[in-house]
Amino acid sequence: MKITLQVWRQANANDEGRFETYHQGGVNEEMSFLEMLDVLNESLINEGKEPVAFESDCREGICGACGMVISGSPHGPKKAITTCQLHMRSFSDGEEIWLEPWRAKAFPVVKDLVVDRSSLDRIVESGGFISVRTGSAPDANAIAVPKSNADRAFDAAACIGCGACVAACPNASAMLFTSAKVAHLGLLPQGQPERFSRAVSMVATMDQQGFGYCTNHGACQTACPKEISIDLIAMLNRDLAIGALSGA
Amino acid sequence: MSRVFVFYRSSIGKKILMALTGLVLFGFVFTHMLGNLKAFLGAEEFNAYAEGLRSFGAPLIPHGYFLWAFRIGLIGALIVHVVTMVQLWAMAGGARPKGYKQAVHLEDGVSSRTMRLGGIVIVSFVAYHLMHMTIGNVHPNFIVGDAYNNLVVGFQSVPVAVVYSIAVIALGFHLHHGIWSMFQSLGMNHLKYNHLRRVFALAFTIAVVVGFLTIPVAIATGIIQ
Amino acid sequence: MQLDSKIPEGPIQDKWDKHRFDMKLVNPANKRKHTVIVVGSGLAGASAAATMGELGYEVKCFCFQDSPRRAHSIAAQGGINAAKNYQNDGDSIYRLFYDTVKGGDFRSREANVYRLAQVSVEIIDQCAAQGVPFAREYGGQLGNRSFGGAQVSRTFYARGQTGQQLLLGAYQALAKQIGEGKVEMFTRTEMLDLVLVDGQAKGVVVRNLVTGDVTSHSADAVVLATGGYSNVFYLSTNAKGCNVTAAWRAHRRGALMANPCYTQIHPTCIPQSGDYQSKLTLMSESLRNDGRIWVPQEPGDSRVAGSIPETERDYYLERIYPSFGNLAPRDVSSRRAKEAVDMGKGVGPQANGVYLDFKDAIGRLGQDTIAERYGNLFDMYQQITGENPYQVPMRIYPAPHYTMGGLWVDYNLESTIPGLFVVGEANFSDHGANRLGASALMQGLADGYFVLPYTIGNYLATQKDGAPSADSSEFKEVEREVNEKTQKLLNVDGKRTAEWFHRELGKIVWDKCGMARNEAGLNQALEEIRNLRGEFWKDVRVPGSGKDFNQTLEHAGRVADFLEFAELMCEDALQRDESCGGHFREEHQVDGEAKRNDEDFAYVAAWEFKGVGEKPELHKENLEFENVHLAVRSYK
């Protein structure tokens, strides 16, 4: 296979950035998308050029490190996978592929396709936890959790924090991410004491980070590699209203 | 006070206000559409309905007071709807300083993408519509108290009917996403009934659009004279 | 050097309680005067940093990823063991202890393992309270499953993503402490060296991976939670970033490295598809419950699976191990797969796998049942290979997965450098020569939540002077060395990429120090590694500079350390002239099974660094088995 890559190159946060074109031959359709970029990078290094910076770690779709907008779609054209799970057989010979970083004010570019997503961590730091001192927990079976609640909490907890929702959102909003964390903890009995104050403080932090707001488009859930539903956003809206108006 | 402040300060609080005021405006639009259909019953019925709005609640409420209270309420709702929108828009405007070279729309459709544009079209039209049908200063033959005449004469102009129809269709798009969005923003969700929110939005949108469009069509075809 | 494991006196059940009472405590008002550095934010690191922050210590936590939530613990699928006996099936702390010592092929320290089994119970309580969405039964109670051939159901799990959910629990606890200012988090920051002041670990030198700035951080004590070294094989199931650098730097500064030859090879991974392959993907071991493993009887049979008649197939695990069949332990089934492929019976385009066939199971249970049990795994397999496992058999092959060896620590998890503590996979302590399924998560969290926060207090209580200044000459000297090494890497300006050297190194150790090892091969590997290392420093090319975000430079530094570490790993494998657990010496087998030599090798091999290319010095910690009696592991 031969493909043409239009890759966003940007030396650092202050650089303007531009697209560069690479013609990549010898692409095997069994390769993963990132392995194709590995091959590109090795040839760039051999030519004495700087390789394309992109992020990845586990390369099996769970760590959330990888992610780029591939011809307009975060994590590429296939549903419910991360960039590292995408394989070249999803592309055709001769195809032109555009690679861009997640674009959002809250995700400044570090280099090329690598962005700084620490704004997501700051949202969690402001309340995305259950306060329980190590060693002070009651027996794990002391609090029964209905299976349906445990399952729904798990669906929300499946978020890998990759940021594709922000990248896909026309407003660069982090509502799906925030709602997933709030719902995960808010659906469990252990999470009730802090449920409403958690929603209020996490949303306040989210707003401060420079994300946009939610217009209920649903682009986030389409892009989400873990198929997290925007139903959780409705839950967050409710919890925030209760929390803010009750002074939680 | 601080609770209201915390609520209003957050993007979600503003969204909820947009949803609530949107609900008020939607309620108005829907009843307005139902009222318009009275035109099919003839001049007498229609004018009596128009007068009935002024004298609503009389004699307990003085003549005309209800209508003004109603108008003030609506304008208030519209102002809150627009102001929160503009604040949120400003927030979103800065959230992606650099756009994508290749944008694929992952969202579900035209209606969600045209909310802001549609809003501008609707507000502009409402301004014109008030001058046309309520104040009458841009109406060719405005007779105070004869709403039926104002309606029929007003829509006999083809350009006016076309502009009106475009505005109604824009309103349709706005409602289609807006009604669904309202459920979402107000946190009204239930695993079992969630799919009905879209059905509800579509059904009411069609009712409003079709209801409003029948009037100029009926006037153009002479069903209403 | 005399190794003192500091195992407390008394019956095994009472050792930990007694020890907790005997240890010194830090006065609550004094805790904030002590700073602790934690390197790594996986299960062990995040739980340790969060707990120490909560106790009142000032904690600085470092990770090379962009967020502490991405550490490789997140990829663990199966589950976490705990001796809760919620299933009322006869489990107990003693049974978990016994199974772990036996599973480790009698090469672990009894006292540590017993403590691990004891605190396993508290881990589940802690995690459930944090909101970890463990699998539940309809009545709302926690669900369990039997895992890795255990005879009791003691494994707690959260679908196939237990590691992720446990790590999120620990990450959230850490995030709370960061939000409250008790833990200062440094992301995208890599530890490049350890700093000793008066022979005690007092800080680290780190590189900011975005700006390239090299800085020092001082503390009263340093904790390494930097994971395992499976990536020495280049292709492994570990994340791309996993590396031995922090542990190796500590080793070079004087911490002994124990049992580096104990590596675990997981039998069910997707085989390599080509030279460009960057990592291997694990398919959950649970697949072996319903899949049948086979290869063609004749070497070189290139027919597709469907055209090979039953009579010409060899279901070798069922044939050799009639009672365990396809569920034979990890090390055993891995070796048998290698044997089949080495005989030329491998399947797939590269002839480098064996079949894991679900045809019978689908016929017996129906496709729906199989989809319900393994649907996500089948999808994952299809995503990677483009083949539909409902129609054609899966292809699998073993891959490096976990490393039992690591920095030597005593009962307090303190290394041979005072003030340097090592937790999680980075230490050697609990798994012996082979780790049982669902025990890695247990050990990481046991160390981080329930062991280290106590034992480090015992050390800190003796450190009255507080942390030294990071401007002192000791720190400046290490900074200089770190900068020098970076410059040296950039200056080589050769012709080959670090990736190339890493791949070459991987081939050497996989071939000669992988699933099966022998004396001649290991000696050859030692020579090849030395040559490759020499070539690396002459011919590696690292573009860019050290003053910005440079992923090639990061990787080259890690490869340089792997090139030194690999030699020690082979040295250790050569020295251990017996077969045990994951270490299989071809010279020592009975009918193809590992033959242990307890007479001569019932010890921990702890190595002292003597210089690059110099022969390391071996120190032995003899292992005493007072509770579990030495026995032969047999699965026939």
pLDDT value at B93 more than 90: no
Q: In Å, how far are C72, C204, C213, C217 from C65, measured between CA atoms?
A: 10, 17, 16, 19
Residues A163 and A62 in one domain: no
How close C314 comes to chain A (CA, Å)?
Answer: 28
Sequence ranges of chain C with CATH classification 1.20.58.100: 473-601
How close A90 comes to chain C (CA, Å)?
Answer: 10
Contact call for B and C: 3+ CB–CB distances under 8 Å: no
Q: Measure the CA–CA gap between C172 and C164, rounded to whole angstroms.
A: 12
How close C266 comes to chain A (CA, Å)?
Answer: 16
Query: What was the pLDDT predicted at C592?
Result: 78
Between residues C505 and B109, the one the model is more confident about: C505
The answer, for B142 touching chain A at a CB cutoff of 8 Å, is: no
> Which residue is closest to B188 within chain A, CA to CA?
A234
Residues A219 and A241 in one domain: yes
What tokens were used for A63? 């760590």
How close A220 comes to chain B (CA, Å)?
Answer: 8
Contact A56, A83 (CB under 8 A): yes
pLDDT above 70: percentage of residues in chain C: 100
Is the Cβ pair A173, B92 closer than 8 Å? yes
For residue C342, the one-letter residue type is D
Contact C568, C257 (CB under 8 A): yes
As for how many domains chain A has, the answer is 2
pLDDT mean over C480-497: 97
pLDDT mean over B197-220: 96
What tokens were used for C308? 């090979």
Question: What is the count of residue pairs from A and B with beta carbons less than 8 Å apart?
Answer: 143
What tokens were used for C231? 């990536």
CATH architecture of C473-601: Up-down Bundle (1.20)
pLDDT mean over C442-467: 96
pLDDT value at C636 more than 80: no
pLDDT value at C215 more than 70: yes
Residues A163 and A230 in one domain: yes
What tokens were used for C61? 């936590």
Enumerate residue ranges in chain A where pLDDT < 70.
none
Q: What is the CATH number of domain C265-400?
A: 3.90.700.10
Residues A102 and A124 in one domain: no
Report the relative pairing of strands C420-422 and C221-224 from DSSP bridges.
parallel
Domains (ranges, CATH) in chain B? 2-220 (1.20.1300)
Is the Cβ pair B92, A238 closer than 8 Å? no
Sequence ranges of chain C with CATH classification 3.90.700.10: 265-400
Q: Residue A147 is nearest to which of C137, C282, C383, comparing CB atoms?
A: C137
Contact A230, A220 (CB under 8 A): yes
Closest CA to C607 of C262, C252, C264: C252
The CATH number for A135's domain is: 1.10.1060.10
Place of tokens 């309103």: B171
Q: Residue B188 is nearest to which of A219, A234, A244, comparing CB atoms?
A: A234
- Domain range for A161 is 118-245
Residues A238 and A211 in one domain: yes
CB contacts of B96 in chain A (<8 Å) are: 103-105, 171-172, 212
Residues A98 and A132 in one domain: no
CB contacts of A231 in chain B (<8 Å) are: 189, 191, 194
Closest CA to A198 of A118, A245, A129, A122: A129
Residues A161 and A228 in one domain: yes
> Which residue is closest to A98 within chain B, CA to CA?
B102
> Which residue is closest to C550 within chain A, CA to CA?
A53
pLDDT value at B108 more than 80: no
CB contacts of A41 in chain C (<8 Å) are: 552
pLDDT value at B1 more than 60: no
ipTM entry: 0.98
Q: Residue A211 is nearest to which of B2, B95, B191, comparing CB atoms?
A: B95
The answer, for B44 touching chain A at a CB cutoff of 8 Å, is: no
Inter-helix orientation angle B2-9/A195-208, to 10°: 50
Residues A134 and A217 in one domain: yes
Is the Cβ pair B177, A216 closer than 8 Å? yes
Q: What is the DSSP string of C525-580?
A: HHHHHHHHHHHHHHHB---S-TTS--HHHHHHHHHHHHHHHHHHHHHHHHH--S-B
Domain ends where: A94, A110, A126?
A: A110
How close A71 comes to chain B (CA, Å)?
Answer: 6
Is the Cβ pair A241, B92 closer than 8 Å? no
CB contacts of A104 in chain B (<8 Å) are: 95-96
CB contacts of C551 in chain A (<8 Å) are: 51, 53
Q: Give tens-digit pLDDT for C554-580.
A: 999 999 999 999 999 999 999 999 999
Q: Give tens-digit pLDDT for C587-600.
A: 999 887 889 999 99
The answer, for B134 touching chain A at a CB cutoff of 8 Å, is: no
Residues A29 and A53 in one domain: yes
Q: Residue A73 is nearest to which of B6, B106, B191, comparing CB atoms?
A: B106
Residues A90 and A139 in one domain: no
How close B48 comes to chain A (CA, Å)?
Answer: 41
Q: Measure the CA–CA gap between B179 and B109, rounded to whole angstroms.
A: 14
The answer, for B132 touching chain A at a CB cutoff of 8 Å, is: no
**For testing the chain C interface, which of A32, A62, A82 should be mutated: the one with the most C CBs within 10 Å?**
A62
What is the maximum alpha-carbon separation in chain A? 63
How close C481 comes to chain A (CA, Å)?
Answer: 26
For residue C176, the one-letter residue type is K
Query: What was the pLDDT predicted at C485?
Result: 97
Is the Cβ pair C497, A45 closer than 8 Å? yes
* 3-class state of residue C505 by DSSP: helix
pTM (predicted TM-score): 0.96
pLDDT value at B104 more than 80: no
* 3-class state of residue C58 by DSSP: strand
Domain ends where: A110, A139, A165?
A: A110
How close A232 comes to chain B (CA, Å)?
Answer: 9
Dihedrals φ, ψ of C200, to 5°? -115, 145
Contact B133, B166 (CB under 8 A): no
Query: How high does pLDDT run on average in chain C?
Result: 95
Residues A49 and A158 in one domain: no
Contact C335, C515 (CB under 8 A): yes
**How many H-runs (helices) and E-runs (strands) does chain C carry?**
17, 21
Place of tokens 């859930």: A221
Between residues B55 and C129, the one the model is more confident about: C129
> Which other chains touch chain B, taking contact as 3+ CB pairs less than 8 Å apart?
A
Residues A194 and A212 in one domain: yes
How close A132 comes to chain B (CA, Å)?
Answer: 27
Contact C383, A85 (CB under 8 A): yes
Contact B40, B219 (CB under 8 A): no
Is the Cβ pair B187, A235 closer than 8 Å? yes
CB contacts of C500 in chain A (<8 Å) are: 42
Is there a cis peptide before residue A77, judged by omega within 30 degrees of 0?
A: no
CB contacts of C130 in chain A (<8 Å) are: 129-130, 132, 137, 190
CB contacts of A146 in chain C (<8 Å) are: 136, 140
pLDDT mean over B88-103: 89
CB contacts of A51 in chain C (<8 Å) are: 543, 551-552
CB contacts of B7 in chain A (<8 Å) are: 241, 244-245
Q: Give tens-digit pLDDT for A55-83.
A: 999 999 999 999 999 999 999 999 999 99
Is the Cβ pair A150, C136 closer than 8 Å? yes
Q: Residue B10 is nearest to which of A203, A233, A247, comparing CB atoms?
A: A203
